Amino acid sequence: MQKQDLVGVWREQGRDIIRADGTSVADVPRASQIMYTGDGFMSVVSAPKGKSSVPETVARMDLDATTPEARAEAAAGVTAYAGTFEVVGDDVHHRLFTALNPNRVGNVQVGHVTLEEDVLTLTAPKDANGNYFRIQWRRVREE
């Protein structure tokens, strides 16, 4: 795997949780996009599909014009981070510069990569119970 293999825009096709016993459980449907640039930057935003609109007093991209409760609901289940990436063997390392979850800033997220034509699969390391996430992405060619 080379860094250049990942360069582009990818949209999530689905994700599942693989349990320690080998069974697979589909995760909630999500609207997700990950981008890799040729000079080593990356970003990802992932949110559950079907989120409700929030009340706001002015049109803004952030959620500061709404209530704390509406902000919490809008952010629930969302993953968003950006930084740099490198390919190490068959793994990709995401070095987080910024993230919705401030506890992750400065962390390195490692995923195992498989690539078959325009389908990218990222597999997370196993957790303490032997379970792991697997996410399938499809390369975006044109809108």
| Gap between the Cα atoms of 107 and 35, Å rounded | 18
To the question of pTM greater than 0.75 for the whole model, the response is yes
| Gap between the Cα atoms of 129 and 20, Å rounded | 7
Residues 81 and 94: beta-carbon distance below 8 Å: yes
With bands split at pLDDT 50, 70 and 90, how would you rate the model's confidence at 74?
A: confident
The mean pLDDT of the chain is 92
With bands split at pLDDT 50, 70 and 90, how would you rate the model's confidence at 121?
A: very high
